[in-house]
Each structure stands twice: as structure tokens, then as C-alpha cells.
Amino acid sequence: MNAIPSQIGRSSGGAQPPVAVECRDVWKIFGPAPQAALAAIRKDKLGKAEVLVRHNAVVGVAGATFAVRRGEIFCIMGLSGSGKSTLVRHINGLIEPTAGEILIEGEDIGRKSAGELRQLRAQRIGMVFQSFALLPHRSVLDNAAFGLELRGLARADRERRAMRVLEQVKLAEWADRFPDELSGGMQQRVGLARALAGDPEILLMDEPFGALDPLIRRQLQDQFLELSRGLSKTTIFITHDLDEAIRLGSRIAIMRDGEIVQTGTPSEIVRKPADAYVADFVSGLSRLKLLRAGDIMRALPAAATNGIAVDWPRAGIDSDLDRLVDLAAESEHPIVVVSLEGTPVGLVDKRALLRGIQGRAPDG
Amino acid sequence: MAEHTLASTSSQRWLDPAAALIGPIAAGAHELWALMAATAFLELTGLVLMGQAFWPQLEGADPRGSWLGGLLLIVLSRLGLGLLLPPLRHSAARRRGLRASAAADGSVRSRAAGAALLLGFVYALSLMRFVLPEPPALLMRFPTDPGIANAVASWIDLAVGGLVDHGRGFFNAITVGLRSALNFVETVFVRTPWPATAVVVLLTAWRLAGLRTTIFAAASLAYMGLLGLWEPSLATLALVAVSVLICVGIGIPAGIATAKSPRLRRLLEPVLDVMQTLPTFVYLIPAVALFSIGKPPGVIATVIFALPSMIRLTDLGIRQVPGNVREAANAFGATPWQLLWKVELPLAMHSIRLGVNQTIMMSLSMVVVAALIGAGGLGEGVMKALQFLKTGQGFIVGFAIVLCAMVLDRLVRGREGGGDRK
């Protein structure tokens, strides 16, 4: 591709916030002798199928390494069976790794006692499940207050706080109902309220919207985005839906067969897929909202600006393709891309635009 | 080879001639065991009939067997086998899918050999037993010595006798404890003036199960009162109440323990089976020896019979708690106690309530048996009716037991059946 101004959009420069959650070379192997299987994988470079045959072991997570900064929404994306749900359960210690370290604010959770781990889960990490996992015998309010109740808060106190989060997820008037009286989307909002009630620093979302129909899913994504902007919690969000990952994620890790094959911002993943697998995913994606004018324009040498007529359409460098298509439909001329300061920096002609929608370089 | 021709022809033809020729062995070779057993039985019957017809008989004995009938039976069974084998093989192969296609010629052949060996053994012994006029004694009766049973029985007698002698203090303590608990409960139930008892029962019914059950309970109480069964009914209920309390007190913790420990469950499983299936009369004898007669051994026998249901249904209820709910509780930092109290027991409640209900029903069904050893109550009425062959009296008392069971059942189930919120 051409010389493209990098990192337009969500990632900002300057001092980065500190790391909140870190996984260092985490392995999880299920089977009768996981350590032996891991040793064999490391020594003999066995593949997944061979490990299953020779050690009767299944590789859940294979050497996952990543770091999530405070306030980030970090999406882990992969198909079912790729190990993403297994990986996220390591972060609150529901699953113990076969090898590797998980650090929360720099503390290795593998060194914590059972009691300390419970403390960590109760106070600092909230979790939302794909299956909602609400308690059917408790009212919505009691479900939302469940984590606080486990911590031993007095009834009045925990109900006040639970009511507050129910208001945040717009379910306050349903507080006295029971889960089976609610729709799936509402049940998951109760799940979200339960996770938020304890005001944790970290949210683990295990395919929270995966079981909902597309329209409800979209509504909940919007609601969640709005909510998380106000709360700025470190969020690890598991999904099998790339569109969802791109809408929500500040960064995305793509998993396949237990391995993280690529980590990057949404635009990095779309523009530079690390391998054919990722490229295949990305090819099914609508680029209209994702690529920006700066990504597809032909850069204009400063000297060439004279050739531009005044009646040519103009667009900002961070306009999305949707906007460019609108402009191109109204005019015969190429679109002039202007920088944030208003100076022309490039041109997008119809050919570049169409290629951009295809996801290819203008000359490709 | 026969198997080979079988394999190649059976798929097209509706009759498998090779199978008809080699008989049940063909069915065995293709793992159609039920077909093999059925045809072998028919064929063997035919062989016995033919053998009895041909074998020289004892002087003066009636002629046995019929060679024509035997031959017909064999031919028919062979023909049936030839007809049934192809379609059965086909559907079995489809059910097994890949495995069948992977089954090598060798395994068919070795199964055929095994089937032949088994059939040869059964045929030879059976023919000897039924065809020979004086078969060897070994085949007529399992070789044993009555001394063995006697020795085992007297050993058990000795053990129970030892238990009675050495555990006297222990068993007396249990007997006394049970007796005083029973006396207390019975005094409360029976001596309380009947209008007070009735009001308490009806109010409980009203609170727990609504109007319909209250009316039913009132009618039942009226029945017991009018037919002069008030005291024995309440004495029976006292016995049932104590038994059920003991069952619940032991059964729920035991059920929780087995749900948490698969090993304990495996250990307890056969014990529970014995408790549930061993005929009551068998353990009534030692129960009387250990706990004397009257109500205490009645309670013990009832508990032995009813406790397994309580344990099993509690265990089932806890294990049925969905894994994701349990995981969610863990994710929010639940301690094992909190998990049990706030998640597992509430979600197992339906099953546990079913267990209590079962226990009540089983206790009531033990009332007559307990009356045999002097436990009194309604069971005694049934016993007397049986002794003096009084049909009408028997039905009156029996119906009182049925009403007790139904009222208790509705009370324990509460509003669950009514569609109201739990």
C-alpha cells in the first residue's frame, strides 16, 4: 500500500495508562498428565492432533501472552473451541493454568491462597456469562445484589447499591420480578448489573451477547459502550463475532486452536491481517465503517495541489468509507482529502474507493 | 469361507441360505445375540424332542418326544433365521456406522468360533439332561451341602447375638431415646384436645396449600373422628413424624455428602440398595432383639426402608444444579458454605421436597408392618381386621391411612402444584 498516515481513530498517543491485566505464556492442557503433555509439546513440537493421540490430552490454551491497560476494552475473538472462554477463566482463577503467569495489577494470582483468590473475585473482578447464569429462585434485585451478599454486606446497604446498578442498566422497575419473567436481553442486563454492583476494577465478559438475537445484541452493545465510557473499567470481552469485536474493542486478540495469532487495534487487524486465517475473517467484514479516507487515499505531493478545482468534493482524513461513497455518488470528480488543519493531503478517486471497499490497494 | 459368502450375498437376497445352514452360529458371528438365543432355544427344543423319540426308553415308561415335531421346529427356526438375518444385520450395521465397516473378517470368524463353542456346551449338557433316561446327578441339581447354609445362618445368629449382648447399653440408649421422643410427640398429638389439633391442622393447610387442601383436610379429619379412628390416626402420625424427622436429619446431610464425593456415593450405593430391597420381615427379627418390641423398632424399620429415598433425591437435586450457576457463584467469590446454602440447596429444594414426600409415603406404607411388632396406631386396626376376617373394618381403617397420606402429601407439596410463585 501507499504511505498511509498510521493510527487514525481510536488509539491515541501520549503516556499510556498502566497495565491492569497481563497473561504471560499461559498454557492450559486438559488430560490425565498435563505437565507431561506440555513438556512433550515444548520439546518435540507436537501438534494438537498428536498430543491428543499420544497423551490423551486436549490443548485449551497454548502460550497466550497479552497485556491489557487500565480502562481498555480488550476483545478476544475466536471461533467456538478456540480456547477463548478457557483463557478468560484464568484471569479470575476459575481455571488454573498448566504453565504461565497471570498478573492482576502486577500481582501473580497463582501465588494467592484460596481465600485471597475469593477476595479478588468478590471485590475486584466482575464476570458476565453467555448463559446468564442467574439464580432462578431469587428476584432480579437479589440477583444483582448476589456478589455483595457473598461479601457480607448488610441487606439495606447491598440493596441500595444493587438498585443503583439496576437503574444504570434500566431495569429498576423490574427489581421484584424473577429471572424467568424477563426476556434474554433483560436477563443479561441483570447479569451485567450483578457484575457491576460490586464496583470491580476489571470486567470479564464471556460472550455476553452471544445467545441473543442480532437486534437485541446491537442494542446491548450500544448500551454497554455508553455505560463503559462512563465507568472506564478494564474490560476483557470474549466474542465469536468480529463485527462486535471491532465495534467494542480498543484492541483485539484473535485466537485459533488455543493460540493468539494476532493482537492489534481494529484497523491494524483489518488492514494487516497476520495470516490467511485472520484475512479470511476480515474478508467477511463491512469496511464502510472501519477504513478511513486516510487509509485508501493516494497521497498528494504538496506541489500538486494546484491541479485541484474548487468544486471538487472535500472530506476530512478520518471520514469513513460510508461518507466517501456519499460524496462520490454526488460528483464526477475525485474526492480531495484534507488534513485536520484543512490542507489537501490526498485524493480518492472512484477506483481507489471501490478497491477500498473490496479491501485491496487502489492499484491491486 | 461361509462368512465370506454371507457377507457378499446377504445384502441382495431376502433369504440367507448360508445362515439357514449353519444356524444360530451365523447370528452370533454378526453380534445379533438376541436372535442367536431365540433360534438356539427353538432348535434345542427340537433336538430334545427328536432325541427323546429315538433314545431307548426305560421299561414300561410312557413314550416321550416326537421326532416329526422336533424336525419341524428345527427347520422352522432355521428358515426364520435365514429370513431375519439379512434385514437385522443391515439395521445393526447402520446403527454401528463406521465400526461395522471396520470389523475385519477375522473378528467375524472369531465370534463365530466363540458362538459355536458356547452353543456346543449348552446343547451337549441340555441334551444329556433331557434325553438320557437317567441323567447324571450333577446335572439334575446344583451340588451343595445343606450344612453350608446352616453354618452361615448360625454364624449370623451368633453375630446378632453378640451384638445384643455386647451392645446392650448402646441399643438400650437408642431405644429409650426413641421411646421418649415418640411418647412426647404422641402426647402432643393425641392428648391435645381434638378441636385444638383440628384447628392447628386446618390453619397449617390453609397457610401451606390453600383453600382446596383445607377443605380436603377438614373432610379427612371428620372421617377419622366420626369413625372412631382419631386416636390411632394421630398415634400413627406421631410415628410417621418421628421417622420422617430422623430420615430428613440423616438423609439430607448424607445426600449432600454423596453429591460432593463420588467415591462416597459408590461406597454407599450398594448399602442403600440393600436397605431398599431387603424384605422388611428379615430385619424385623433382629430389630426386635436389639430394640425390644413396640414403637422404637417400628421407627427403626421404617427409617431403614425410607432413608435411601431421602439420600438419593437430595444427592440428585444437588448434582442437578447447573454447572454455569455454580461457576457464577464461584466467580463472585462464594465460599463452599455460601455455595451450598445460597445456591445448591435452594436449587435442589424441589428434589429435596420430593424426597420428604417419598419418605412420608414410605413411612405410612410401613405402618401395618410396624404394627406386627406392636407399634400400634392404625396398623393395629388393619391387623385385627385381618385376623378376624372383618372386611368392612379393614377398609375403614385402610382408608384412614390413605387419607393421612393424601393430606400429608398435599401439605408438603404446598402450592407447588397450584401454579403460584414458590
Chain B residues in contact with A198 by the CB 8 A cut-off are 332
Evaluate if residue B259 carries a pLDDT over 90: yes
| Pairwise CA distance, residues A276 & A290, whole Å | 20
B275–chain A nearest CA distance, Å? 34
| Confidence band, pLDDT 50/70/90 cuts, at residue A218 | confident
- What does the pLDDT average to over A46-65? 86
| B346 contacts A118? CB cut-off 8 A | no
| A131 contacts B332? CB cut-off 8 A | no
Q: What is the pLDDT of residue B60?
A: 64
| B333 contacts A133? CB cut-off 8 A | no
Q: What is the pLDDT of residue B103?
A: 53
Chain B residues in contact with A143 by the CB 8 A cut-off are none
Chain B residues in contact with A129 by the CB 8 A cut-off are 324, 327-328, 331
Q: Please give the C-alpha separations between residue B49 and each of A329, B130, B359, in angstroms, as whole numbers.
A: 98, 9, 54
Contacts for B93 with CB less than 8 Å, ≥ 6 apart: B100, B101
B406–chain A nearest CA distance, Å? 27
- Give the closest of A94, A125, A137 to B347, CB-based: A137
| Full strand arrangement of the beta sheet holding A19-30 | A58-69, A19-30, A99-104, A107-108
CB A87 within 8 A of CB A61: yes
Give B390-404 pLDDT, tens digit per residue: 999 999 999 999 999
CB B396 within 8 A of CB B229: yes
Q: What is the pLDDT of residue B252?
A: 96
CB A246 within 8 A of CB A281: no
- Give the closest of B325, B332, B343 to A122, CB-based: B332
User: Considering only CB atoms, which residues of chain A are within 8 Å of chain B?
Assistant: 92, 94, 118-123, 125-127, 129, 131, 133-137, 146-147, 149-151, 178, 194, 198, 204
Q: What is the pLDDT of residue B421?
A: 42
Q: What is the pLDDT of residue B101?
A: 52
B355–chain A nearest CA distance, Å? 19
Report B:249-288 residues touching A (Cβ under 8 A). Answer: none
- Give the closest of A123, A136, A150 to B334, CB-based: A150
- Give the closest of A118, A129, A149 to B335, CB-based: A118
Helix, strand or coil, per DSSP, at residue A44:
helix
The answer, for B11 touching chain A at a CB cutoff of 8 Å, is no
> What does pTM read for this prediction?
0.78
CB A258 within 8 A of CB A246: no
B333–chain A nearest CA distance, Å? 4
- Give the closest of A121, A129, A147 to B324, CB-based: A129
| Pairwise CA distance, residues B76 & A115, whole Å | 75
| Pairwise CA distance, residues B407 & B217, whole Å | 6
The DSSP element (H or E) to which B401 belongs, if any, is helix B391-413
Chain A residues in contact with B333 by the CB 8 A cut-off are 118-123, 147, 150-151
| B332 contacts A147? CB cut-off 8 A | yes
Chain B residues in contact with A112 by the CB 8 A cut-off are none
Give A117-161 pLDDT, tens digit per residue: 999 999 999 999 999 999 999 999 999 999 999 999 999 999 999
- Give the closest of A119, A133, A135 to B333, CB-based: A119
| Full strand arrangement of the beta sheet holding A298-299 | A298-299, A344-348, A335-338, A314-316
Contacts for A329 with CB less than 8 Å, ≥ 6 apart: none
In DSSP terms, which residues pair with A76 in a beta bridge? A238, A253
CB B45 within 8 A of CB B37: no
| B333 contacts A151? CB cut-off 8 A | yes
Determine which of B327, B330, B332 to mutate to test the interface with A (most A C-beta atoms within 10 Å). Answer: B332
Q: Which residue has the higher pLDDT, B420 or B143?
A: B143
Among chain B residues, CA nearest to A200: B332
Determine which of A146, A187, A207, A238 to mutate to test the interface with B (most B C-beta atoms within 10 Å). Answer: A146
Among residues A116, A91, A119, A118, the alpha carbon closest in space to that of A105 is found at A91
Q: Which residue has the higher pLDDT, B97 or A72?
A: A72
The end-to-end CA distance of chain B, in Å, is 70
Among chain A residues, CA nearest to B343: A135
- What does the pLDDT average to over B52-74? 78
Cβ-based neighbour number of residue A282 at 10 Å: 20
B90–chain A nearest CA distance, Å? 32
- What does the pLDDT average to over B129-144? 85
Q: What is the pLDDT of residue A289?
A: 66
Q: What is the pLDDT of residue A42?
A: 84
- What does the pLDDT average to over B37-54? 90
Give A308-317 pLDDT, tens digit per residue: 777 888 888 7
Evaluate if residue B3 carries a pLDDT over 50: no
Among chain B residues, CA nearest to A195: B332
Q: Which three cell numbers stand for residue A317?
A: 482524513
A46–chain B nearest CA distance, Å? 28
H-type alpha helices, chain A: 34-44, 48-55, 84-91, 114-123, 140-144, 146-151, 155-168, 184-197, 214-231, 242-248, 266-271, 276-283, 293-296, 321-330, 350-358
| A135 contacts B333? CB cut-off 8 A | no
- What does the pLDDT average to over B197-201? 93
Pick left, alpha or beta for residue A83 (phi over 0 → left; psi -120 to 50 → alpha; otherwise beta).
left
Handedness of CA B112, B115, B120, B126 (dihedral sign): negative
Give B201-254 pLDDT, tens digit per residue: 999 999 998 899 999 999 999 999 999 999 999 999 999 999 999 999 999 999
Chain B residues in contact with A92 by the CB 8 A cut-off are 331
Report B:50-89 residues touching A (Cβ under 8 A). Answer: none
CB A2 within 8 A of CB A345: no
- What does the pLDDT average to over B120-138? 87
Report B:319-348 residues touching A (Cβ under 8 A). Answer: 322, 324-325, 327-335, 338, 342-343, 346-347
Contacts for B35 with CB less than 8 Å, ≥ 6 apart: B24, B27, B81, B84, B85, B88
**Angle between helices A214-231 and A184-197 in degrees, nearest 10:** 20
ipTM of the complex: 0.79
Chain B residues in contact with A127 by the CB 8 A cut-off are 328, 331-332
Burial class (CB in 10 A: 0-12, 13-18, 19+), B264: middle
| Pairwise CA distance, residues B219 & B214, whole Å | 9
Q: What is the pLDDT of residue A14?
A: 52
Evaluate if residue A194 carries a pLDDT over 50: yes
